[in-house]
Structure 1
């Protein structure tokens, strides 16, 4: 299995992270996260990203984001994701969602597109999808093709319910790793209003 960094909200989703480590061992997973006070915000954004990559993401090649109800609001999670995609050698990106949150984010449907109308079963997003999905997970799931519907192989970041992932983590981690060389246009920059670790030395242009 490829070395994987787990980014998650400790207060709410520690149980899911523990299931991964207890079920599949810690050798292939990096159990280290950024905490309040770890990063000197007097540094530039480039320095902050480099520090997270070098001191926390270590030699990981895939970033696994565990999504619960408050994950998208966590500054450290958002900055860990951005750091993992920073530079010329980005990590593969994979998101797994707590089952009860997944059921809020999606509803079942069928294809009714006039250009296709194949009747295939689909998972349609609800209003909770954007609320619960971290910025760079959301951005790297935007489909840029012309087909009426698509699957996770056609976007850089796959997303699935936790109970699906935990049955075969190696499969999904390997798929995320392989996408690094598949020609995807990776979104690497957090939006300005996204909660994140921010440098205090900002220069305001008048």
Structure 2
């Protein structure tokens, strides 16, 4: 029996709220995770950026162990999403680092996946795939994943970051539960690349 983990869902609130609501409905029916993410209106957008970053880190992310990033067409350009990813990767005394799972939404028409959690993920999530290839080129990652935030691409280039990238269309309650469990189990061994400065604005 897998444990139930506290999850932070990072997403574009204006464009992709439907996806978060779907995950929460799936969770209500199947008891997959505990939702620790931010809802629309939880944080006053008129606050200074420094205060918003602190609230994300200290009030929401501190009790979560897995961050799910929902990727739509405008996700990569949002400063709050970059802050959430940075804070998820940061391993502090009070707020420990989380594992990160990337889910590609139908709006970006995803063609590729990345299975970072070894044999168990490949065997149970992708049993029909027999041949896997490794990629170590930023150019190739950006070509395959044009909508992923730069901070995620930075870390796909590091095998030690252990970030899986999946398609929304292939998710089921069982596969989501396993992916969260594998992401949780590998989180302490993740060695993230945090060298990129945090975004100062949307683009």
> 4+ residue stretches of structure 1 with deviation over 6 A?
none
Contact 1:79-1:196 within 8 A present in 2 as well:
no
Q: Identify the structure with the greater helix proportion.
A: 2
Q: How does 1:4-43 map to 2 (within 5 A)?
A: 4-25=7-28, 28-33=34-39, 35=43, 37=45, 39-41=47-49, 43=50
TM-score computed with the length of structure 2 as normaliser: 0.69
The reply to whether residue 90 of structure 1 matches residue 93 of structure 2 is no
Quote the offset at 1:100 in angstroms: 4.5
| Alignment RMSD | 3.1
- Give the structure 2 partner of residue 178 of structure 1: 185
Determine helix, strand or coil for the equivalent of 2:64. coil
Quote the offset at 1:188 in angstroms: 2.7
Quote the offset at 1:128 in angstroms: 4.9
Contact 2:71-2:102 within 8 A present in 1 as well:
yes
| Unaligned runs of at least 5 residues, structure 1 | 108-118, 145-153, 198-206
Contact 1:61-1:90 within 8 A present in 2 as well:
yes
Determine helix, strand or coil for the equivalent of 1:181. helix
Determine helix, strand or coil for the equivalent of 1:56. helix
- Give the structure 2 partner of residue 67 of structure 1: 71
Determine helix, strand or coil for the equivalent of 2:196. coil
Answer with 20-29 or 92-101: which moved more: 20-29
**Residues 105-152 of structure 1 deviation map (CA, whole Å, 9 limit, x = unaligned):** 549xxxxxxxxxxx93659857554531112222221145xxxxxxxx
Quote the offset at 1:93 in angstroms: 0.6
Residues 133 and 15 (structure 1), Cα distance of their counterparts in 2 relative to 1, 3 Å cut: same
Aligned length: 170
Quote the offset at 1:38 in angstroms: 5.7
Residues 38 and 140 (structure 1), Cα distance of their counterparts in 2 relative to 1, 3 Å cut: farther
Quote the offset at 1:99 in angstroms: 3.0
**Residues 21-65 of structure 1 deviation map (CA, whole Å, 9 limit, x = unaligned):** 011128611241575626423x4xxx7644322112241111100
- Give the structure 2 partner of residue 80 of structure 1: 84
Aligned equivalents of 2:70, 2:20: Cα separation in 1: 8
